[in-house]
Structure 1
Amino acid sequence: MSQPTLTVTYSSPTNAPFSHTTPLSAIATADKTTHLNSLRAAITDLQTRINTELTQRMDEDKIAAEQLKEGQVEEAQHKVKRAKSEKVDEDAEEENYGEEVVEED
């Protein structure tokens, strides 16, 4: 079996052509197979780790979104309660319209 090479050839209608050949080291088939198997296993392991990490982050984002939504609901409920507690007594305001009211302690 001959030694593998990498060859590049360039041709152009306006420039002189050139060619370059680089010899490559031959790798035994068994070594290639071993290397590719270990690479495939490493990629599978890495993909599993990435999927686990991304799933965890998606779960955290979902929880944060739910907490934000709950927080907004709680805040709105708090505002309604505060508005109700601060609501002006309309009847008293109407009765005292135009008059100065002095509150007694």
Structure 2
Amino acid sequence: MPDSLALQAVYTAPGATQTFQHAIPTSNADPFAAKQAHLTSLQTLVPQLQDQVNVFLTARMEEDKGKISEKEAKEEANYGEEVVEDDA
């Protein structure tokens, strides 16, 4: 096995990039024990990584809610109502 391994996820969007990373411990034990330790680490680290990504994306969604355009704000305020605009 390599000297170091990492579990990594990268979020990329216009104007933002976020990397989430966890080191995966390596073992010099016999091959079977090393594979077992690797899988055990993944079982622990993958849910942690998912939680971090979810927290980050939730925060991004909250930020985006505050950045809606004037047109979107007007549409949201009038949602479900019939609005007649003057074309004259």
Please report the TM-score for the alignment, with normalisation by the length of structure 1: 0.35
More strand by share: 2
More helix by share: 1
Relative contact order (C-alpha < 8 Å, sep 6+): which is higher? 2
Please report the TM-score for the alignment, with normalisation by the length of structure 2: 0.41
